[in-house]
Structure 1
Amino acid sequence: MIRPTPLLALLLLLLAGCTSIPDAKPTPTQTTGKRWQPRPGVAWQWQLSGRLDTSIDVPVYDIDGFDHSKATVTALHDKGRKVICYLSTGAWEDFRPDAKKFPKSVLGKGNGWKGERWLDIRRTDVLEPLMAARLDMCREKGFDAVEPDNMDGYQNDTGFPLEAADQLRYNRLIAKLAHARGMAVGLKNDLAQIPALVTDFDFAVNEQCAQYDECDTLTPFIKANKAVFHVEYELPTTSFCADSRKLKLSSLEKKYELGAWRKAC
Structure 2
Amino acid sequence: MSTTAAPGRVILLLVALLAGCTGGHDDPPPVHRAAVTLPPSPAVLDYQLGTAYPPPAGVTLVARDSTASPAPGVHNVCYVNGFQTQPQERELWLTQRRHLILKDSGGEPVIDPEWPDELLLDTSAPSNRDELARITGESITRCADRGFQSVEIDNLDSYTRSGDRLTIDHNLAYAALLSARTHDRGLPIGQKNSAEVSRRAHDEVGFDFAVTEECHAFSECSAYTEVYGAQVMDIEYTDNLRGTFAEVCADPATPKTTTLRDRKLVGPDNAAYAFQHC
TM-score normalized by the length of structure 1? 0.75
Runs ≥4 residues deviating over 3 A: 96-102, 245-249
Given residue 214 of structure 2, which amino acid in structure 1 is its aligned partner?
Q
What aligned pairs does 1:4-153 form with structure 2 within 5 A after superposition? 34-66=35-67, 68-69=68-69, 73=70, 76-77=71-72, 79=73, 81-96=74-89, 99-100=92-93, 103-108=97-102, 109-111=110-112, 112-122=114-124, 123-153=128-158
- State the Cα distance separating 1:179 from its structure 2 match: 0.6
What per-residue deviation string (whole Å, max 9, x for no partner) do you get for residues 155-211 of structure 1? Answer: x22256111211221222211111111111100011111112224112100011111
Q: Structure 1 residue aligned with 2:247, among 216, 229, 239?
A: 239
Q: Is the CA contact 2:225–2:231 (under 8 Å) kept in the aligned structure 1? A: no
Q: Is the CA contact 2:84–2:155 (under 8 Å) kept in the aligned structure 1? A: yes
- Distance change >3 Å, CA 262–CA 94, structure 1 → 2: same
Equivalent-residue separation in structure 1 for 2:247 and 2:213 (angstroms): 15
Q: Is the CA contact 1:185–1:203 (under 8 Å) kept in the aligned structure 2? A: yes
Equivalent-residue separation in structure 1 for 2:92 and 2:275 (angstroms): 31
Q: Is the CA contact 1:148–1:186 (under 8 Å) kept in the aligned structure 2? A: yes
Match of 1:263 in 2: 276
- State the Cα distance separating 1:39 from its structure 2 match: 4.6
- Distance change >3 Å, CA 97–CA 139, structure 1 → 2: farther
- Distance change >3 Å, CA 171–CA 195, structure 1 → 2: same
Match of 1:196 in 2: 200
Equivalent-residue separation in structure 1 for 2:266 and 2:131 (angstroms): 32
- Distance change >3 Å, CA 125–CA 38, structure 1 → 2: closer
Given residue 150 of structure 1, which amino acid in structure 2 is its aligned partner?
N
Given residue 248 of structure 2, which amino acid in structure 1 is its aligned partner?
F
Tell me how large the CA RMSD over aligned residues is: 2.3
- Distance change >3 Å, CA 254–CA 159, structure 1 → 2: same
Fraction of identical pairs, as percent:
24
List gaps (5 residues or longer) in structure 2.
1-33, 103-109, 268-273
Say yes or no: does 1:211 pair with 2:204.
no
- State the Cα distance separating 1:125 from its structure 2 match: 2.9
- Distance change >3 Å, CA 55–CA 241, structure 1 → 2: closer
- How many residues are matched? 221
Equivalent-residue separation in structure 2 for 1:140 and 1:39 (angstroms): 21
Q: Is the CA contact 2:234–2:255 (under 8 Å) kept in the aligned structure 1? A: no
Match of 1:227 in 2: 231
Equivalent-residue separation in structure 2 for 1:47 and 1:34 (angstroms): 27
Q: Is the CA contact 1:84–1:143 (under 8 Å) kept in the aligned structure 2? A: yes
List gaps (5 residues or longer) in structure 1.
1-32
- Distance change >3 Å, CA 242–CA 117, structure 1 → 2: same
Q: Is the CA contact 1:204–1:221 (under 8 Å) kept in the aligned structure 2? A: no
TM-score normalized by the length of structure 2? 0.72
Equivalent-residue separation in structure 1 for 2:48 and 2:96 (angstroms): 26
Equivalent-residue separation in structure 1 for 2:212 and 2:49 (angstroms): 15
Q: Is the CA contact 2:82–2:136 (under 8 Å) kept in the aligned structure 1? A: yes
- State the Cα distance separating 1:97 from its structure 2 match: 9.4
Match of 1:250 in 2: 257
Equivalent-residue separation in structure 1 for 2:91 and 2:79 (angstroms): 15
